[in-house]
């Protein structure tokens, strides 16, 4: 069976096949709603055409396995979907265990012991597919032997129209884990807020994520009392499939769940996600929000309802699902807003903070190197003279000749452009021609409160230093002037 792939799906499949051809185990990263099962099946189909061996799809949830089995049949793939927790592989030959292609779905779990044990049994080529290789998980996956073959960001898919736009709404309900458990007034307020926001934004289907079974069951009951058709479901629910089907058929408006639908749940008509469980995992946060971003006829956006968490238990905001910078962290935002725009602002803030930290470390390093050479760091020299460097202009680094010339003024500079260096040299030469104080003199005098130090001559500065008992106690001697025999030519 040949399937019409989207452009990014084709790129992901081609990249993975290329890696496999080089005996590399590829990692494909695509967000929730990107069609990772389609990507995985097309990888298996093309690999199987060339290698004539079976393929196995490995996952840790029943929903993922059921979905994969149906997809593999549509694609005509010989093989099967296997639970990562399986310990018996009857009917699978030793050759298949050694030579078959194994695809690990939701592969950010692939560093867990169960996945590692499975990989020891199936020793052939492997593909890892995931939506959320969070900051540290990416490193762990690479350490497990996977190489990133393809990656597409969630914001890119939203911009291209493959996922709907998110719309965040902060519910004005103060919550914490303590207040959710055993306090009906808190969940009553949550239920009221859900009814209000779903009516205001005209939402039809919502998935609510809760921290435990008791809270989930109570919320479903409170919503039903408010004429919202709601049900609870968790891993132990006996009629789980029937309740899911009722939700898909629009018989249920709100589906409350615990640890169930963060992965492998596909209901494109979901137009609202209710975040009522705290987490310290950005990966899980992205997975929960991603449940509502799939496209569907007539669907233009997904409403994300988020309460006002207190007690520091909840560290993420909706925008954190869309940030790209490793250190980005969104601020809390009241009312309604676009989390993608807020994420972009958070990325910029994180980038600026990172650059500021790098610049600070570079200044420390430069100051240390300057001291070791008996020189004054450029930033200190500029402060002493009250100079503000002009913009870089053309990014041509200063020459060795310029750097050497600046050291004769007692200044250590490494990160200037050639144009900035020339600007500074011109002003230092002008000071020298007028016989004005050196940077070391100015710095010492300013340290002891001589504010007009930069307009003193070398001789005046020397006399001031020599006559001040505080400077004499420091062992300061009059600074030498710059040798007139040294000439700089640009």
- What's the pLDDT at 94? 92
Identify the three-state secondary structure at position 25. Answer: strand
Report yes or no on 324 lying in a domain: yes
CATH number of the domain residue 263 falls in: 3.40.50.300
Could you tell me which of 336, 422, 424 has the C-alpha nearest to residue 378? 424
pLDDT at 341 over 50: yes
Distance of alpha carbon 267 from alpha carbon 292, whole angstroms: 8
Statement to judge: residues 73 and 198 lie in one domain: no
Statement to judge: residues 177 and 323 lie in one domain: yes
Statement to judge: residues 385 and 314 lie in one domain: no
pTM of the model: 0.73
Q: 316, 349, 382 — which closes off a domain?
A: 349
Report yes or no on 484 lying in a domain: no
Domain span at residue 41 reads: 7-152
Report yes or no on 215 lying in a domain: yes
Report yes or no on 368 lying in a domain: no
**Average confidence (pLDDT) over 314-336:** 85
- What's the pLDDT at 386? 85
Statement to judge: residues 312 and 445 lie in one domain: no
> And the tokens for 427?
């002003």
Please write the tens of the pLDDT for every residue from 238-281.
Answer: 898 899 899 988 889 999 999 887 766 778 999 999 999 888 88
Residue pair 146/27 in contact by the 8 Å Cβ criterion: yes
Report yes or no on 223 lying in a domain: yes
Q: Which residues contact 489 (CB under 8 A, 6 or more apart)?
A: none
- What's the pLDDT at 132? 67
Statement to judge: residues 388 and 303 lie in one domain: no
Q: Which residues contact 23 (CB under 8 A, 6 or more apart)?
A: 125
Statement to judge: residues 108 and 209 lie in one domain: no
Report yes or no on 437 lying in a domain: yes
Statement to judge: residues 310 and 166 lie in one domain: yes
Q: 99, 120, 152 — which closes off a domain?
A: 152
Count of structural domains within the chain: 3
- What's the pLDDT at 485? 38
Calculate the alpha carbon distances from 373 to 9, 367, 404, 411, 443 in Å: 57, 10, 12, 10, 17
Report yes or no on 462 lying in a domain: yes
- How many residues make up the chain in this entry? 490
Residue pair 163/154 in contact by the 8 Å Cβ criterion: yes
Distance of alpha carbon 369 from alpha carbon 377, whole angstroms: 8
**Strand locations in 139-283, DSSP E?**
146-151, 165-175, 206-209, 230-233, 254-257, 272-275
Report yes or no on 479 lying in a domain: no
Q: To the nearest whole percent, how much of the chain has pLDDT over 70?
A: 87
Choose between 429 and 266: higher pLDDT. Answer: 429
Statement to judge: residues 192 and 85 lie in one domain: no
Q: 102, 119, 152 — which closes off a domain?
A: 152
Statement to judge: residues 212 and 344 lie in one domain: yes
pLDDT at 462 over 60: yes
Please write the tens of the pLDDT for every residue from 62-104.
Answer: 778 888 899 999 999 999 999 888 878 888 999 999 999 999 8
Residue pair 140/146 in contact by the 8 Å Cβ criterion: no
Statement to judge: residues 177 and 324 lie in one domain: yes
Statement to judge: residues 80 and 147 lie in one domain: yes
Identify the three-state secondary structure at position 170. Answer: strand
**Average confidence (pLDDT) over 430-448:** 89
> And the tokens for 228?
């919202």
Statement to judge: residues 28 and 147 lie in one domain: yes
Q: Which class for 353: exposed (0-12), middle (13-18), buried (19 or more C-beta within 10 A)?
A: middle
> And the tokens for 26?
């590829």
Choose between 125 and 377: higher pLDDT. Answer: 125
**Average confidence (pLDDT) over 141-159:** 85
């Amino acid at each position: 069976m040949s399937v019409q792939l989207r452009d990014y799906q084709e790129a992901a499949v081609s990249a993975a096949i290329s890696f496999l051809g080089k005996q590399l185990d590829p990692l494909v990263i695509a967000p929730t709603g990107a069609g990772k099962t389609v990507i995985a099946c097309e990888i298996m189909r093309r690999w199987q055409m060339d290698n004539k061996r079976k393929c196995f799809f490995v996952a840790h949830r029943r929903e993922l396995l059921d979905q994969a089995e149906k997809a593999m049949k549509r694609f005509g793939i010989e093989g099967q979907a296997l639970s990562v927790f399986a310990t018996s592989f009857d009917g699978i030959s030793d050759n298949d265990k050694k030579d078959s292609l194994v695809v690990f779905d939701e592969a950010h779990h692939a560093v867990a012991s169960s996945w590692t044990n499975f990989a020891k049994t199936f020793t052939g080529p492997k593909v890892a597919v995931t939506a959320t290789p969070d900051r540290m998980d990416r490193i762990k996956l690479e350490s497990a032997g996977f190489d990133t073959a393809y990656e597409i960001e969630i914001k890119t898919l939203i911009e291209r129209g493959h996922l709907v736009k998110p719309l965040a709404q902060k519910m004005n309900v103060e919550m914490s884990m303590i207040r959710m458990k055993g306090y009906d007034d808190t969940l009553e307020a949550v239920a009221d807020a859900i009814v209000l926001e779903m009516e205001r934004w005209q939402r039809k289907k919502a998935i609510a994520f809760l921290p435990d079974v008791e809270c989930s069951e109570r919320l479903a009951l409170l919503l039903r009392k408010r004429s919202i058709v709601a049900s609870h479901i968790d891993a132990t629910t006996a009629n789980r499939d029937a309740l899911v089907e009722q939700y898909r058929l629009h018989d249920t408006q709100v589906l409350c769940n615990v640890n169930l639908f963060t992965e492998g749940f596909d209901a494109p008509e979901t137009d609202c996600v209710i975040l009522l469980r705290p987490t310290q995992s950005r990966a899980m946060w992205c997975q929960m929000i991603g449940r509502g971003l799939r496209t569907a006829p007539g669907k233009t956006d997904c409403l994300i309802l988020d309460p006002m968490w207190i007690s520091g238990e909840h560290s993420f905001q909706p925008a954190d699902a869309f940030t790209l910078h490793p250190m980005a962290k969104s601020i809390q935002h009241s009312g309604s807003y676009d989390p993608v725009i807020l994420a972009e602002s958070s990325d910029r803030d994180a980038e600026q903070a990172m650059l500021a930290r790098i610049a600070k470390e570079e200044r420390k390093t430069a100051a240390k190197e300057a001291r070791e050479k008996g020189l004054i760091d450029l930033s200190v020299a500029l402060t002493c003279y009250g100079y503000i460097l002009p913009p870089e202009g053309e990014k041509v680094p200063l020459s060795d000749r310029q750097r050497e010339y600046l050291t004769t003024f007692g200044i250590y500079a490494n990160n200037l452009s050639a144009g900035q260096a020339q600007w500074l040299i011109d002003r230092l030469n002008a000071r020298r021609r007028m016989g004005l104080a050196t940077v070391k003199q100015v710095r010492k005098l300013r340290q002891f409160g001589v504010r007009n130090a930069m307009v003193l001559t070398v001789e005046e500065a020397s006399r001031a230093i020599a006559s001040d008992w505080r400077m004499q106690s420091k062992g300061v001697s009059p600074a030498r002037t710059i040798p007139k025999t040294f000439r700089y030519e640009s």
